[in-house]
Amino acid sequence: MIGLGFSWGAFLVYLFALVFVVLGGFYGLIESKHPAVLAPILMGLFYFYLCWEAVVGDGDAPPPPSSSRGQG
């Protein structure tokens, strides 16, 4: 079986296509002059905030449970 290798050409074509689709989508949203133009941007920012809190935001973590049990 032949293993798959990395191809800079394929990567650049993929990157160009991704940028083309994203920029075209933003251009279409802006040119539509619809009030919901900010919805995808705000959803993306909210998603980034959730990911940030899941990975970095440990400041409000509750204290660890105590190891002493009730005496009884």
Per-residue pLDDT of the chain (72 residues; tens, 9 = 90+): 566 677 888 889 988 988 888 888 788 878 888 877 777 778 888 888 888 887 776 666 666 777 766 555
Which two tokens mark 40?
Answer: 């995808």
Q: Give Dmax (Cα) for the chain.
A: 72
DSSP state of 67: S
| Residue at 27 is within a domain | yes
Question: By C-alpha distance, which of 55, 9, 57, 30 is closest to 22?
Answer: 30
Please count the structural domains in the chain. Answer: 1
| Residue at 2 is within a domain | no
The residue segments making up the domain with residue 44 are 9-55
- In whole angstroms, give the CA distance from residue 5 to residue 66: 52
**pTM (2 decimals)?**
0.41
Report the pLDDT value the prediction gives residue 12, as an integer from 0 to 100. Answer: 92
Number of Cβ atoms within 10 Å of the Cβ of 24 = 10
